[in-house]
Every structure is written in C-alpha cells, then in structure tokens.
Amino acid sequence: MGYINNTAQWDAKKLRKRGKLYSTIDFEVNEKVAEYTYENMPEKPIIGKLDIGGKRFNVTYPELSLIIETLEQAKKVIEMRHRMGFMR
C-alpha cells in the first residue's frame, strides 16, 4: 500500500512547532480494492488506513468524506471565532 504524506521522511523535531500530531498524520491507500468491489458492494470496502498520533483507523470512502467535511467545518468555525475576536 502507498502512503500519501510519506511522514516517515519528515523530521519530527522540526515539525513540532506545527503541532505534536502534524508529523504523524498520513493515509495508507488500500491498493487491493478491486473496481468491481468498490462500485457494486452494498457495504463499501475499506479504502485505506488513516494514521493519526500512532493510531490507525480503517476507513471507507463515505467515512473519509465525512471526516473531510467535519474538519473543513472545524476550520471555518475556528476562522470565524478568530475574526469575531473570541480567541483570547
């Protein structure tokens, strides 16, 4: 399986300033999912593994979409709080 961020190549000490989890975030693509399985199964297959902080989570495509939507909304809320002066 291939990784998206290749976090093994990063120097964790230099990346600490971006957050303790920054250098641990990665996604391993499941290259064994067949096209037929992906398109035709009633339950979506595991498309990969999300790595965060040394923990791994098997995820399906719908779960990955929900994770993305949730994090995008979180970013919008944080930006709005910043603009409105609620971050003290």
pLDDT in tens, 48-61: 999 999 999 999 99
pTM, rounded to two decimals: 0.78
For residue 74, give Cα distances in angstroms to 1, 16, 40, 48.
29, 21, 33, 23
| The pLDDT of residue 1 | 52
Nearest partner of 59 among 46, 41, 43, 69, judged by Cα: 46
Rounded to the nearest 5 degrees, what angle is found at the Cα of 28, between the Cα atoms of 54 and 39? 135
pLDDT in tens, 26-46: 999 998 888 877 777 778 899
Residue 71 has pLDDT above 70, yes or no: yes
37 or 77, higher pLDDT: 77
